[in-house]
Every structure is written in C-alpha cells, then in structure tokens.
Copies of this chain bind each other. A is one copy, B any other.
Amino acid sequence: MSEELVGNVLVGQSGGPTAVINASLAGVIAEALNHAEIEEIYGTLNGVLGILQEDFIDLAAESQQTIRGLKFTPGAALGTCRYKLKKQADYERVLEVFKAHNIRFFFYAGGNDSQDTADKISKLAQEQGYNLRVIGIPKTIDNDLPTIDHCPGYGSVIKYIATTIREIACDNEAMGQHDLVQIVEVMGRNAGWIAAGAALAKRKDCPHDAPHIILLPEVAFAAEKFIADVQRVLKREKSCLVVVGEGLIDADGNYVSAAEATDSFGHAQLGGAADYLQGLVEQNLPGIKARTVKLGMAQRAAVHAASKTDTDEAYLAGQAAVKAAIAGETDVMITLLRGDHDHYTVETGLAPLSEIANGVKKLPREWISEDGISMNQQFLRYALPLIQGETVVPYDNGLPAFVKLDKNRIEKRLGGYAL
C-alpha cells in the first residue's frame, strides 16, 4: 500500500508535558534511523510555533546518550506550545515551510487540540497536492482522547499520585491524636481520570484504606453530602483523606472553587478546590483540622516515580508512528489497544485524526461506585496494569540526571513570519 516517498522527518511536541512525552520522541528518532526513505530528522521547537518561524533543530546530530536519556527526562525536550493556528495564512505558511525543508513525514505528539492542528495541516497538504504523511502521537495525562484504551502519560501520573496518597496515608494514620482531614488536589479540569487513579492506593481487600473520599467532576458536588461523608469517615478512622480534581463542579455546572474562596487580595483563587474544601471543613466541623497538598505541575513531571509500562508504551507509540508513515499511512493517530486476555497486553492501532480532534473520552459513570466518592472494581481492573513496573531513572550525585538537547539549528530558508 505504500507509495515510494523519500524526504525529511519533522517531529514536534505540543500541549502540557507529561513524564513520558520525551520517551515518544526517543521512539520516533530511534525508529526513523531504521528507514532509508528518511533523509533528515528535524525537530520543531515549541510545536507549531517553531514551524511558523522555521525554528528547526537537527535531531540526528544529537548524541546517542542524549536520545537514550530522553526516555527518563520530564518536560518536553523540544519545547511545546499552546498556540493555535488561527488564520488560513498560518496553515499556508506551514505548508510553505514544509516544502522549503522537504518535510514529508510529520509526527505530532499532543492531545485533542494538537491532533486537530495536525489534521488541518494534512488536509491542506492534500488540497495542494503536496505529498505529506501526518501521524499523531497520543499524549496527555488527562487520558481523555477517544478511540484509545489509555493515553501515554496517564499511567505515570496516577502511579505518582497513588504512591503519594499511600505515603501521606501512613503519615496521617501516625498522627492518631487529632481528627485530621487531609485534602490532596490533583489535575483534571474536565474529567476525573486523574483523581480516580488515586483509588489504586487502597490495598486489595482494604476498602477502608485511604483515599476515603474521591471528588470527581463527573459527580456534582454538594457541600452537605461532603461534610456528612467526612464525618462518617472520621467516626470510623482517625483521619480522612480526600482527593479532589481541580475541576470540581456543583449541580449547576459551575466550578466549585472559583466563586467561594478568595485570597488575601480579595481575588477569586485559581484552581483552589482544596482550599475551598479546607474552608468548608473548618467552618462546618469545629475542632477538626484540615490540611492541603496541591501537587500542581509536580505530578505531570514526576519521572522519578514513572510507570515502566507507560514509559515503554510511549516509546512504542513513537516507533509505531514512524512505521505507519513508512507504510503509507497518513491522517491518523497511533492508538493503544488492550488485548482481550486475562493478562494485560497492548498493541498499537490507528485512528483518523478527525475522530481524535473532536472527541472526548469521559470517565464511565458505571466505574464510579454508587456512593459517588470511590471507584469500583471495573476502574481498578482498567487502571492497575497501567502503573506496573518502575522506570529506572539514572541518578547522578543524588539526583535524577536529565538530558538537554544540543539543539543544532537548521538554516532557515524563508523570510520571517509575523504571528
């Protein structure tokens, strides 16, 4: 099915980083070296921004040591962006730049918005009769891309969070003297995938283990029920550990944190779901102490606690993208398909970019227990395989040793472009 196409590779990273997006980059580079059809391997700095401005670097010139180290380096080594191509002229510019550098294989790692951008670039190339193969690489801690069993980045973020919850739980249990409510805020603006992952911290057959309450955007928040739930847990345990996704909403669909809490300047606080709950507990339960942890960007960068399964799958997705392009595929994103076995297996598949661009995978309501604050066996069966294995990060002098790309620039061939 493959027609002969020879030219250069361009790979880019987009959206928020994950612990394993650089593993996908390493997979692309390693696989690209295997194919004679691929002449040069370029990276674009800061995603589409780098394309518009011709900010390309020579990835084949990087040392093998550096490329190997990418698998264990958080952030996005090429730089990323949240820039959205706005006007038709932007897309025309992308094609102009691709032609100037003979880019024939374009790999873009990102979430919905990024795959939408890739899709539009691909469609314009087809309109113009420019032979280009565009393959998306899935990436998001949010785990909300459709058509894929799970997203690279998700397994690592929930492994880190479940580890952290299990550790904090030991600490809380030790402080037996006080009635303590511990509130841990995690990411997840629109879906509860990340908060749900905290449920893995419970030991098998110990339903009373922390986390005792998981608050998901899928379940409308009601303050009275929350306080009653906390009281019930405190009666049973010495402390109550609450995990809350930042995107918690009330019955009217409003973010719970936005309106109520204000900071010392009287401004509404950003992402203050935990602070809001802390206030709620201390106002309604006199004598109870509430403490907060906000993991913020630490959670998506925590490569030191990454899942080996996730790292390996992210690398595999990068490799699969190159193989698909060489095989003649375009306009598709690499997917991960779970085998239908008792033991976990995964293989890659393909899905049209247009399907990814506009879909969102919701956390299934039937995976949430009836109490609305815990996850059932169906979720645990889904999530547990994703956190298996520990990524062994190289340490130097007591700290993880991360790599930086040399970033040898490719000479620009066109004039500047005003954003």
Contact = CB atoms under 8 A, between A and B. Distances in A.
A189 interface: no
Given A75-B170, A176-B45, A276 B297 contact: no
B304 A305 contact: yes
Nearest to A303: B167
Interface in A169-187: 169-178, 182, 184
A182 B297 contact: yes
A167 B291 contact: no
A169 to B, nearest CB: 8
Instruction: Report how many copies the assembly holds.
Output: 2
Contacts of A212: none
A323 to B, nearest CB: 26
B17 A170 contact: yes
A359 interface: no
Interface of A: 13, 16-17, 45-46, 49, 73-77, 79-83, 159, 162-164, 166-178, 182, 184, 200-201, 204, 257, 263-265, 267, 269-272, 275-276, 278-279, 282-283, 291-298, 300-305, 307, 384, 387-390, 395, 397-400, 402
A10 B45 CA distance: 62
Contacts of A169: 75
Given A163-B304, A167-B400, A399-B163, A46 B176 contact: yes
A298 B307 contact: no
Contacts of A300: 171
A302 B263 CA distance: 29
Report whether over half of chain A's contact residues are helix, strand or loop; otherwise say mixed. Answer: mixed
18 contacts: A17-B175, A45-B176, A76-B174, A79-B176, A82-B177, A83-B177, A167-B298, A167-B302, A167-B303, A171-B301, A182-B297, A271-B292, A275-B275, A291-B297, A292-B296, A293-B294, A295-B298, A388-B397
Given A17-B171, A303-B167, A399-B162, A294 B297 contact: no
B400 A395 contact: no
Contacts of A164: 298, 301-302
Contacts of A159: 398-399
Contacts of A272: 264, 275
Contacts of A399: 159, 162-163, 166, 200-201, 387
A176 B173 CA distance: 42
Nearest to A383: B398
A9 to B, nearest CB: 20
A297 B263 contact: no
A275 B264 CA distance: 8
Contacts of A162: 398-399
A141 B74 CA distance: 27
Contacts of A170: 17, 73-75, 301, 402
Contacts of A397: 204, 384, 388
A365 B7 CA distance: 60
A301 B176 contact: no
